Amino acid sequence: MNQILLDTSAYSNFMKGHLEIKLALREVDQIYLNPIILGELRAGFRKGHHRAKNEKELLTFLTSPRIKFVAIDEDTADRYAVIMNYLWKIGSPVPTNDIWIAASAMQHGLRILTSDAHFQKMSQVLVEYY
């Protein structure tokens, strides 16, 4: 089964009509999100000028039968620690939320679909970067 974890940046670019991300999403069987991604999206909506429109579009997106959620739990925290220590070791900081997203992908064996290049610094996860 072809599955991905959809990063916040890729969702945002998908909603802006980014062709490569649209094509990538058409080819997957399941699209996963986690609470970190949902929180980043909703925080962005609150900061922006189109909160109601963005929330409505997100709710529509979430009704797709291909959308699933993964939880953040103790196993995710263990993977977070692995990735965080690796990044410290190579001297390459990455936003904390993105480490949690990567840990979630690592835990569930999911590729990350993203528009953020710093995910490529994390050797513990597979990344599709657009």
State pLDDT tens for residues 18-35: 999 999 999 999 999 999
Residue 101 has pLDDT above 90, yes or no: yes
pTM, to two decimals: 0.94
User: CA–CA separation, 56 vs 90, rounded Å?
Assistant: 41
CATH number at residue 7: 3.40.50.1010
Residue 57 has pLDDT above 90, yes or no: yes
User: CA–CA separation, 103 vs 86, rounded Å?
Assistant: 12
Model pLDDT, residue 1: 80
Burial (CB count within 10 angstroms: exposed 0-12, middle 13-18, buried 19+), residue 8: buried
Number of domains forming the structure of the chain? 1
For residue 103, give every residue at least 6 positions away whose Cβ sits within 8 Å of its Cβ, in sequence order, or none: 76, 77, 79, 80, 82, 83
- Radius of gyration of the chain, Cα coordinates, nearest whole angstrom: 14
State pLDDT tens for residues 60-70: 999 999 999 99
